[in-house]
Amino acid sequence: MKTISTYDDKNILVFGLAKSGFSAALLLQKLGANVFVTDGNKEQDPEMLKELDDLNIKYLLGNQDKSMLQTYKIDAIVKNPGVPYSNPVLVAALEDNILVISEPELAYQIMDAELIGITGSNGKTTVTTMINLLLNDGGFTSHLAGNIGIPATRVAQQAAKGEIVTMELSSFMLAGIDKLHPHIAVVNNIFSNHLDWHGTRDNYVRDKMRITENQTSNDFLVMNWDNPEWQELSTKSKAKVIPFSRKGLSHDGSYLENGKIFFKNEFVMDADKIGVPGDQNVENALAAIAVAKIKNVNNEVIKKVLSSFTGVNHRIQFVSKVNNRIFYNDSKATDIEATEVALQAFDSPIILIAGGLDRGDDYSRLASSMRNVKEIIVNGQTSDKMAKMATDAGIKEVKFSDKVADSVLTAFKDSTDGDIILLSPAAASWDQYKNFEVRGDEFIEVVNNLKDKVVD
């Protein structure tokens, strides 16, 4: 890692604990800062708190007040990505011209390795994982980091010069960057997500595109070319644009044509050899292939890696086959577009388990993707909205349940030979679960219990 003096003897507030905040606090102390940690949630990992105590890092849990800025004479804040800028403490900090950055920005400031950054409304975890596998099999040393669940500040300290950090970057993270500069940036797609956090779609798009704001003509922007808006957004980048297109709209990068994947007119592989189903995963593979080809990974490695790729946890993840019913966990589908992708991945009859936090979305948009859905089981705050959408779409079996576990049992009871039982909520999990992982794990646990009880 680079040695920097930026934070030496500065009073730095880590706003929000969890894994990334904890990692940031430890790094800041190593960089000579006087570190203070705050989190609105009093319930924290006791071992984490003990380590903070052992290191004499002060922390305040529970009530957060802007007076802490003056009490501790705060010079800068490293913010948890999920905390909105409307938080009163952050509003006061910005009014006082206190620098507020995200944890990946802090990581970049000490990073010796090359950075590849990936963002997008949907598919970014899959693309990040694919790229990491392609690079490691292609002769590089690549480290996963960021929104994929691995603190960037931890990885930045481990990754050496000549290595690569392949980092998934959410819009929340990108909203808090300053110097972060990927050599290769990937924008997988941009829809309309997290508007409760960003306020407007324009704000959301602006934060997504911050991934390229520090790039130069020596860098690359890998951009989805299948939407005129995204093509237009790419013109604002100084980087060399490498398009990818499932519709074959450009041959200047990776593209799909007649079921085959090419890069700049060179055949790479057949699309149906990709190890995960659905058009979205072809699109994800196109983005990953573009990065691999920029780094000169050969086609044999690309074919080997992508044909054996089985997906990531909670994203159209195959769980099990029980009595010829096939269960898929897509708990990471926290918006309508992600669930549309999942529904389009299957041709067999589907029993859909959906619902969650109500963020004001118009679920009638989901109706056109319900052609293979024979039954929907809804839970959570959006239950009534989703039930109405399904009824309007002509689905005859619409049922309500308390939680995902109950939905699985109902779905199995109602299913017949060859059905797909799909958890794809089209909503965030926070009304009932700590996060989408907990929701998906509940689905997996109940399915595995069913498998233990049922003899195929």
Q: Binding site for ATP: residue ranges?
A: 120-126
Query: 146: which strand partners?
Result: 150, 168
Residue type, 271: A
Separation in Å, CA 38 to CA 44, 52, 352: 11, 12, 40
CB 119 within 8 A of CB 209: no
Residue 46: CB atoms within 10 A of its CB come to 8
CB 195 within 8 A of CB 204: yes
Tokens of 193: 């997500």
Q: Tokens 């990885």 sit at which residue?
A: 155
Do strands 99-102 and 397-400 pair parallel, antiparallel, or not at all (unpaired)?
unpaired
Rounded Cα–Cα distance for residues 192 and 206 (Å):
12
Tokens of 440: 């998906």
Q: What angle do CA 386, 427, 188 make, to 5 degrees?
A: 125
Longest dimension (CA), the chain: 66
Tokens of 205: 């798009």
CB 117 within 8 A of CB 169: yes
Query: What 3-state DSSP class applies to 164?
Result: strand
Separation in Å, CA 132 to CA 24, 68, 90, 153, 428: 23, 41, 34, 18, 27
Rounded Cα–Cα distance for residues 341 and 283 (Å):
11
The helix (run of H) or strand (run of E) holding residue 331 is none
- Binning the chain into helix, strand and coil, the percentages to the nearest 5 are 40, 20, 40
Rounded Cα–Cα distance for residues 201 and 336 (Å):
15
Residue type, 168: E
DSSP 150: B
